[in-house]
Amino acid sequence: MIDLYLSKNSHRNQLLLDFFQNYGIEVSCHSVSEMTKDKLIEMMSYSSDCFEFLSPNLLRFKNRDNLKLTDFIEMILKNPELTIRLPLAVSNKRVYPNLNLEEARALLPRDTKQLIYMAQTHYLSN
């Protein structure tokens, strides 16, 4: 199961949803405004550097020693559409920020990827 936090770009969202549906991948869609403090902390624990899925504008806070984590999280959750790189997928304790179709292939099961590869190589050899 993939948790997908959608962006305001409905076309991009629809492309991703169609992609997952075509491969029979179960997706649970969420609005980023539904994100909770606990869910954000959980996602941060999945990443070696939480700034990977946060807006580059927040990099200025990376080395601040005087900013409490709770204050930083509250700041993110005040305006998550601007502070989180969307669309964002969470699957198998990994976070995939700013997801596009090319990167979405990483979320396909291995056997599906092998079938796609075999079909492409067979097509190219004919």
- Note the pLDDT of residue 112: 86
- Give the pLDDT of the chain (126 residues) as one tens digit per residue: 999 999 999 999 999 999 999 999 999 999 999 999 999 999 999 999 999 999 999 999 988 888 999 999 999 999 999 999 999 999 999 999 999 999 999 999 888 888 888 888 876 565
CA 56 to chain centre: 15
Mean pLDDT, all residues of the chain: 92
Q: CA quadruple 46, 85, 82, 4: dihedral positive or negative?
A: negative
Give, in order, the Cα–Cα distances in Å from 100 to each of 50, 65, 86, 107.
19, 34, 10, 11
- Note the pLDDT of residue 123: 60
Q: Which fold has domain 2-124?
A: Glutaredoxin (3.40.30)
Q: Number of C-alpha atoms within 13 angstroms, CB side, residue 18?
A: 8
Reduce the DSSP state of residue 107 to 3 states and report it.
Answer: helix
Find tokens 């949803």 and name the residue: 17
Domain regions of the chain by residue span = 2-124
Reported as a single tens digit per residue, the pLDDT across 30-60 is: 999 999 999 999 999 999 999 999 999 999 9
